[in-house]
Amino acid sequence: MNLSFKVAASGMSPFLKVFGSLCWLLAASPLLVESDTYRYASALLAFIALFYYLKEPARPRTNWLGWLCIGWGSYVLLRFAFIYFTTSQHDLGGSDWLYAFPLFFPILGVAFALYESEMEKIIAVFFATALMMLAVTISLDAGEIASGVAVRPLIMHNQIHGAVACGLIAIAATFWLLHYIKQQDSSRQFARFAYVVAPLVLLLCLIAIYGAKSKGVWLAMVITLPILGLITLRYIKLRAGALAIGCAGILLVAGIYLVRDNLAQTAGPTLQAAVSMVHGVFGGNQVGHTVAQTIGSGATPVAMDERLQLWSNGWEVFSSAPIFGWGNEWLDRWHEARYTGVPYTLLHNGYLEILVRFGLFGAFVMAIILASLIFSVCKAYRQGVIPRAAMHTYLVCIFFFALTLLSNSNNRLALGESLSLVSSAFACWCNMRLTRAGTRLNAHAPLTVNAGS
């Protein structure tokens, strides 16, 4: 971090330190409680950062990544305003202006710099809160989970949102624990706390994900867990790591075997319909024809049938304006699509959400921003700015979340928006650190990554 930001942080009043730390916890709170509180907390952090940034005599210059984030956010807002004022019905779209969040990424990176020294405490408090909330909500739903009834983990609007949040928490808790296992010179007080809390959080998250009965999250976890296991082997001795992962795998397989009937009942019909659809495509039928047949089939589960209708409509709208999308006019086109009877405008696919609004151009720009943020985090690790666990938390959470977007529009949910703001603040902080000569941290420093990122 810029040395003067360190001076500013050290001179910050105790009240502002506590207040800002609370704001960071609230910025990540949609992982525990689904509400819009994170927006106000992020705005307050941005104001605090802007105050210190503007009074800084040698403020760091904004590089091309910062300008790209600001430029994209401005483009989204200006396009939204133009369509709103030039259409007779003042088209609002659906959550369209939220795609302007990159406008705030750079200044939130400054906010992360100001509270860098408090992050280890913030993370510990986050996981302590997560443990309490998981324990309470799962104990209340224990009977339903045991009987195979879908439950809502934590305090969420539905079980899918809760399952996604538990997946992110489980990944972050794993690397939080591995950080302290690997770095023997880190704080022993925080290490002992993580040794107790992290395994319990991980176990409760897996139980909650099973209880939520979200097939999309199940699939994402099935793909992510082996990757998580392989990365874990890099933190601990090969023999001990292989033994620990083997035991965990045996327990997981045993648990799956015990609930196999419920798993088959929940996912079986969807799997059969999906396999049948794939066979139809590879059998020479056109994709559109096969999808229409699957939608019209009485054997297709209702949830899958509705998703296929939504995806078909979304692809139809995107195909009519593939380069720049429809902006906030997309809802007008949506109501003219083939399957008008489907009662949702949430497309249940995060990538289609982007394509129908901003087309291939928007998807390309957002992909460039994400790739640059990922590059900054990886380079920050290679140069000793952040510990390895911070990088892996960021990468694996992004990977898992990207998988969940295949079957749900989680980027339009509070937890998705919170994840984008918090993780990008961390990545922009990494980028800012890399552009300042002579400001490296020791790689064995306390873990400075937000718990939800």
pLDDT in tens, 193-204: 999 999 999 999
Phi-psi map region of 60: left, alpha, beta (phi>0 left; psi -120 to 50 alpha) = beta
pLDDT band with cut points at 50, 70 and 90 for residue 7: low
Q: Average pLDDT of 48-68?
A: 87
pLDDT in tens, 87-100: 988 888 888 888 99
Give the pLDDT confidence score for residue 148 in this predicted structure: 81
CA separation for the pair 209, 259 (Å, rounded): 13
48-52, 254-258, 317-321: segment of lowest average pLDDT:
254-258
pLDDT in tens, 346-372: 999 999 999 999 999 999 999 999 999
Residue (of 135, 206, 217) closest to 170 by Cα position: 206
Give the pLDDT confidence score for residue 68 in this predicted structure: 97
pLDDT band with cut points at 50, 70 and 90 for residue 448: very low
Name which residue leads in pLDDT, 243 or 66: 66
Residues 6+ apart with CB under 8 A from 430: 376, 377, 379, 380, 385, 386
